[in-house]
Amino acid sequence: MTELIQAVTASVAAFAATNIDDIVILMVFFSRISPTFRPHHVVVGQYLGFLLLLLASLPGFLTGLIIPPVWLGLLGFLPIAIGIHQLFAGEADATDVQTVTEESSAKNGLLGRSRSFLNIPPQTFQVAAVTVANGGDNISIYVPLFANSTLAAMGAILSVFLIMVAVWCGIAYYLTRHAVIAHYLTHYGHRVVPFVLIGLGVFILLESRVYQLLISS
């Protein structure tokens, strides 16, 4: 039970830290709702894009079945490094994220309107494409998290992630109708992310007992 609680806590922290900028993307899409671009296109597209990111991160879990967890725990330094970088990068990166997401939305909008892909509605494909394009950091955080998870913990993490996608969509839809809250979230929410990433990295290091490597050496 303790393992599952830790897995749920870590997965919530990991999802929030890696998807804070997705709130901005989802708000852009929800603000464009029209008779031909419906809310379900945004939700389904977000799920589709996020599932592709999870598939790209699964090799971390498969590797964890072969390599001893204590060695995989060294991957915990990755989210710590990303968190420290974001902490010192500050406002510049936050501005860049918002600019890139809006430009990606516009560029993929042309692709989405051109044709459907594998029978996926073009509106849904547009959202999925932007989600994947903006998810590079997600993979770098999810791989060490998956690599240090048991099968039961992995199931809990994936379940939480899928629930959090729905929560994120709901929050973004709500924020498109409350400009004041949206302003504070998009301008100040990123300041919390570095500390969450550093905490997540420390959790991975402790959970995998990396300190045993130092003791044995």
What single string gives the DSSP state of each residue in 18-30?
A: HHHHHHHHHHHHH
pLDDT for res 37: 86
pLDDT at res. 42:
92
Task: Look over the chain and give the mean of its residue pLDDT values, rounded to a whole number.
Answer: 77
Residues sharing a CB contact under 8 Å with residue 105, sequence separation 6 or more, in sequence order: 25, 28, 29, 126, 130
With CA atoms as reference, report the closest residue to 151 among 48, 2, 5, 7. Answer: 7
Q: Which two tokens mark 76? A: 């915990």
User: What secondary structure does DSSP assign to 120-158, as a single string?
Assistant: B-HHHHHHHHHHHHT-HHHHHHHHHHHHT--HHHHHHHH
Confidence of residue 98 (pLDDT cuts 50, 70, 90): very low
SS3 call for 37? strand
Q: Which residue has the tokens 């990166």?
A: 93
Least confident of 53-67, 123-137, 155-169, 175-189: 175-189
pTM above 0.85, yes or no: no
Residue bearing the bigger pLDDT, 194 or 207? 194
Q: Given this model, what pLDDT does residue 217 score? A: 55
Are 34 and 172 in contact by the 8 Å Cβ rule? The answer is no
Residue 131 has pLDDT above 50, yes or no: yes
Q: Report the chain's terminal Cα–Cα distance, integer Å.
A: 33
Of residues 48 and 105, more confidence is placed in 48
Q: What is residue 111's predicted lDDT score, i.e. its pLDDT?
A: 43
Answer yes or no: is pLDDT of 186 > 70.
no
Give me the residue spans of the domains in the chain.
2-216
189 pLDDT band, cuts 50/70/90, is low
Residue identified by tokens 């809250």 is 181
Q: Please determine, for residue 109, whether its predicted confidence score (pLDDT) is greater than 50.
A: no
More confident residue, 110 or 60: 60
Q: Examine the pLDDT at 118 and tell me if it is beyond 80.
A: no
Does the structure show a pLDDT above 90 at 51?
yes
